Amino acid sequence: MFYERIARPLFFTMPPEFVHRLSMIALAHSPMAAALEPFARKNYPALEKKVFGLIFPNPIGVAAGFDKNAECVNAWPRLGFGFMELGTITPKPQPGNPSPRIFRLPAQQGLINRMGFPNLGMDAVARRLEKIKAAGRWPRIPVGMNIGKNKDTPLEEAGRDYLACFRRTRDLADYFVVNVSSPNTPGLRQLQRGDFLDSILGPLRDEDPQALRPLLIKIAPDLVEEDLVEIVAAVEKYRLVGIVATNTTIDKTGLPLQEQGGVSGRPLTSRSTEIIRAVSRLTGGRVPIIGVGGIFNAVDAREKLEAGATLLQLYTGFVYEGPLVVRKICGGL
């Protein structure tokens, strides 16, 4: 109630990226996460899952993009999350697109963003994680690393960027996600097609031929059936352990704001569920799916699980529902 009546209305008077920055600082450097923990975190033994060799205390994770630079690694478990996906990181640091680059759609419970992978670069993020490890403060929930390419890297050379990010962080995360689905890096989504997929996934597989590190691919919700068939074939060929479905959509039909970027939240809910259902059908349910896109409550979560997802993530639901959202969803499940 406090979040909906007081915090959210206050936050929504301020620019979205500023609120995000403020929240990250509060979660990273103050006793905020510790203060929230008694309200936000609860054990749900019945929800524990073992997926691709990792133990997830519950299936609700922080989606990529929220903690791009691994600033709040110790806060996410306190807020009840069952896992976190850091990044997207790129080999070199980059500033992303000019601000403003996040826009709210309050009536639709959505966001449009065109961040363009602003991040400190793989070295700075890796050093941060090395420090946490060395200090014995490694979180007890699985940590994923979402990897991407720099804006100025030509698509033909993208494979090198993904490989560099993987090499740098391979001992600093529990699973890895090849992000070929952000709409905000020019041409990136073309990497979801056959030849390009080979040029990225081939070198990654050669780097880890025994598939010791769980590797997944994150896909766009705007793919058609034949794209999905191609992706599922690549998942099998390169022995990926899962598919993250989905990133934001470029479809802004019916939305009152037509800013360039990707749409997340409620306007994405059913589309991402349909992609999960299609992927699950194409893989015969054999490949774990991390379902993401417009999850706000237990009903949304259950719909995605019933469509074939094994794990779930949220970003926009956290913005609209607040820091107790994981507990509410887990309790409902």
Question: If 0-12 CB within 10 Å is exposed, 13-18 middle and 19+ buried, where does residue 137 land?
Answer: exposed
Distances (CA, A) of 117 to 59, 144, 262: 26, 16, 13
| Minimal distance, residue 314 CB to ligand FMN, in Å | 4
**With respect to ligand FMN, which residue has the nearer C-beta, 68 or 151?**
68
Q: Which residues are catalytic?
A: 182
Q: What is the DSSP string of 112-144?
A: EE-----B--HHHHHHHHHHHHHTT---SS-EE
Report the phi/psi class of residue 239: left, alpha or beta, with left for phi > 0 and alpha for psi in -120 to 50: left
Alpha-carbon distance of 52 to 40, in angstroms, equals 27
Stretch that binds ligand FMN, among 120-128, 191-199, 300-308, 310-318 (CB under 6 A): 310-318
**With respect to ligand FMN, which residue has the nearer C-beta, 21 or 137?**
21
**With respect to ligand FMN, which residue has the nearer C-beta, 75 or 275?**
275
**With respect to ligand FMN, which residue has the nearer C-beta, 78 or 218?**
218
Read off φ and ψ for residue 119, nearest 5 degrees. -165, 165
Q: Which of 295, 325, 326, 329 binds ligand FMN (CB under 6 A)?
A: 295
User: What is the token pair recorded at 139?
Assistant: 């979180």
Q: Does the CA dihedral 296-299-300-305 come out positive or negative?
A: positive
Stretch that binds ligand FMN, among 53-61, 72-80, 110-118, 235-243 (CB under 6 A): 110-118
3-state secondary structure of 50: strand
| Minimal distance, residue 238 CB to ligand FMN, in Å | 19
- Comparing every residue's Cβ against ligand FMN, the nearest one is 65
Residue 293 binding ligand FMN, by CB under 6 A: yes
User: What is the token pair recorded at 325?
Assistant: 């959202």
Alpha-carbon distance of 104 to 127, in angstroms, equals 33
**With respect to ligand FMN, which residue has the nearer C-beta, 149 or 213?**
149
Contacts of residue 283, Cβ cutoff 8 Å, sequence gap at least 6: 232, 235, 243
3-state secondary structure of 111: strand
Residue 268 binding ligand FMN, by CB under 6 A: yes
| Minimal distance, residue 108 CB to ligand FMN, in Å | 11
| Minimal distance, residue 31 CB to ligand FMN, in Å | 26
| Minimal distance, residue 2 CB to ligand FMN, in Å | 22
Q: Which of 165, 215, 219, 292 binds ligand FMN (CB under 6 A)?
A: 292
Site for ligand FMN in 17-76 (CB under 6 A): 63-65, 68
Site for ligand FMN in 130-189 (CB under 6 A): 146, 179, 182
| Minimal distance, residue 307 CB to ligand FMN, in Å | 15
Residue type, 81: F
Residues that bind ligand FMN (CB under 6 A): 63-65, 68, 88, 102, 111, 113, 115, 117, 146, 179, 182, 218, 247-248, 264-265, 268, 292-295, 314-317
